[in-house]
Amino acid sequence: MTGTETRRGAAGRSFLAGLIGAGIGQSLTPPMHEREAARLGRRLVYRTIDIARLGMEPRSVGYLVEAAARLGFDGLNITHPCKRLVLPALDGLSAEAEALGAVNTVVFGADGAVGHNTDWSGFARSLRHELPDAPKDRVVVLGAGGAGAAVAYALLVSGVRELVVVDVDASSAEGLAARLTERFPGADCRSGAPDGLGRALAGADGLVHATPTGMAHHPGLPLDPALLRPSLWVADVVYRPVRTELLREASARGCRTLNGGGMAVFQASDAFGLITGLEPGAEHLHAHFRELLARE
Ligand SMILES: NC(=O)C1=CN([C@@H]2O[C@H](COP(=O)(O)OP(=O)(O)OC[C@H]3O[C@@H](n4cnc5c(N)ncnc54)[C@H](O)[C@@H]3O)[C@@H](O)[C@H]2O)C=CC1
Ligand SMILES: O=C1C[C@@](O)(C(=O)O)C[C@@H](O)[C@@H]1O
The pLDDT tens digits of the residues spanning 52-103 come to 999 999 999 999 999 999 999 999 999 999 999 999 999 999 999 999 999 9
Which residue among 167, 239, 243, 263 is best mutated to probe the pocket of ligand 1, counting the most ligand atoms within 8 A of its Cβ?
167
Instruction: Give yes or no for residue 3 having a pLDDT over 60.
Output: no
Q: Is residue 215 within 6 Å of ligand 1 at its C-beta?
A: yes
Q: Is residue 276 within 6 Å of ligand 2 at its C-beta?
A: no
Residue 211: strand, helix, or coil: coil
Cα 262 versus chain centre, distance? 10
ipTM of the complex: 0.98
Instruction: Give yes or no for residue 2 having a pLDDT over 70.
Output: no
The mean pLDDT of the chain is 95
Which of 8, 35, 42, 83 does the annotation list as catalytic? Answer: 83
CB 144 within 8 A of CB 171: no
CA distance 98 to 87: 9
- The helix/strand count (H/E) of the chain reads as 11, 12
CA of 290 to the centre of ligand 2 (A): 16
Instruction: Give yes or no for residue 156 having a pLDDT over 70.
Output: yes
Global pTM? 0.95
Tell which atom from ligand 2 comes closest to the C-alpha of 29.
8
83 is catalytic: yes
Which residue in 209, 203, 189 sits closest to 141, CA to CA?
Answer: 209
The more confident residue out of 9 and 192 is 192
Domain annotation for the chain: domains and CATH numbers: 7-118+267-294 (3.40.50.10860), 135-255 (3.40.50.720)
Which residue among 100, 106, 242, 267 is best mutated to probe the pocket of ligand 2, counting the most ligand atoms within 8 A of its Cβ?
267
CA distance 95 to 250: 35
CA distance 148 to 155: 10
